[in-house]
Amino acid sequence: MAKGKTGTRSLKERDAATTKKIVDLVADVARKSLGGKEPKIDIPTRTKSNTIWNKKRGILEMGDGVAERPLFDLKTAKQFMQTMLHASTIKDLIAAEKTSSLRGVFYKAKHTVAGTRENTFDTQDESDPILEDLEVALGALREELHVFAENRGSMVGNITIVDKGDEIDCRRMGSGGYALPSIVEPDVIQFKKCEAKFVLHVEKGTVWNRFNEDRFWEKHNCILTHGAGQPPRGCRRLLQRLNQELKLPIICVLDNDPWGHYIYSVIKQGSISLAFESSRLAIPEAKFLGIRAKDFRECGLDDAVKIELTENDVKRAKEIAAYPWFAGHRGWQKEIDALLANGFKMEVESLITKDISYVSETYVPERLRKKDWLD
């Protein structure tokens, strides 16, 4: 998997193919415009209704639904313009053989619409989904568009990797860990040496710090990761590669609330908005270790850890219970019912009320030993 002449050439070929896709899409718009027809872009829909649950593979997939994005419609006119701008920006990036962050792309395309006081893009939140639209419209992966997201999430553990030719020993990453890049494809990152037997993925950096400080990965011979909340694509892709290529089980420690359940669901089956990427992101085998609704009693936690469920939490919990991949799952139905019956939620940090290292030294090892998890 080393970078060689063939690699470079294939990269060039790949770029040429992407460029052609962009030119085709825009040329079609030009043709329609000059021919007096309404310019439209077909964009596969990234909505729940266009998401299919592939029971056999255990992942979410994108359906065939396509939405037209016409220029002459007040609802879509601006998005149409933005899509064209980003198409042009991406083509330039590829031509210059440069990559850019999502933020960089946003700034490159952001300007005042000629003759007005209106911006082409006001915030990056407007820009990022347009790029995702382009990905699906072109059928191109994000790295093929030369775009990456900011690094998010960290990793430590018994593994050595090569990142763009640099060897990285994840056992010697100090307190911060190896920052997970957004593009972790095999042409960028290769696994060199791995002794770890599983991956412990936690929700947030604070919890990850606890485990790292207690050298949990060393004691339990594993890899420790977090995704700073909902894990970004880079983090999910790396977890999937560790799972598929190195056959490491992925064990998740997330909050006991609908949000934690949702993160687990995204890691396991994929998300609605990125359903087109599920096959390279979803990890159907991922396991949910905790924390669990029963833990309040089982671990003898203090009343102070309870956080009352909001109306919205209850609504979210019921929605999640109805997801097809949870709907037929006895264990998960019970778990969500228990959460609702409790009427409160708990963060992983609540285990700290027992003892500062209770989570890393008692709770997780015990549950691992008992194989007490949901999957």
- Which positions are catalytic? 107
Nearer to another protein, 71 or 351 (CB): 71
Is residue 102 within 8 Å of 131, Cβ to Cβ? yes
Nearer to another protein, 73 or 167 (CB): 73
The footprint of another protein on this chain (CB under 8 A) covers a number of residues equal to 31
x/- site string to another protein, residues 98 to 127, per CB under 8 A? ---------------xxxxxx-x-------
Question: Which ranges in the chain belong to alpha helices (H)?
Answer: 5-34, 77-95, 102-109, 124-138, 205-213, 216-220, 233-245, 258-269, 278-281, 295-298, 311-321, 324-327, 330-342, 358, 364-370
Rule CB under 8 A: say whether 80 interacts with another protein.
Answer: yes
Binding range to another protein, per CB under 8 A, among 57-65, 84-92, 251-259, 322-330 = 84-92
| Per-position b or e across 170-205, b if 16+ CB within 10 A of its CB | beebeeebbebbbbbeebbbbbeebebebbbbbbbb
Rule CB under 8 A: say whether 26 interacts with another protein.
Answer: yes
Q: Considering only residues 30-69, where is the footprint of another protein by CB under 8 A? A: 30, 33-34, 36, 38-39
Length of the chain: 375
Binding range to another protein, per CB under 8 A, among 71-79, 203-211, 324-332, 362-370 = 71-79
Rule CB under 8 A: say whether 71 interacts with another protein.
Answer: yes
Q: Minimum distance between the CB of residue 33 and another protein, rounded to whole angstroms?
A: 5
DSSP string, 133-167: HHHHHHT--TGGGTEEPPP--EEEESEEEEETTEE
Which amino acid is it at 375? D
Rule CB under 8 A: say whether 29 interacts with another protein.
Answer: yes
Calpha distance 333→129 (Å, rounded):
33
Residues that bind another protein (CB under 8 A): 22-23, 26-27, 29-30, 33-34, 36, 38-39, 71-72, 74, 77-78, 80-81, 84-85, 87-88, 91-92, 113-118, 120
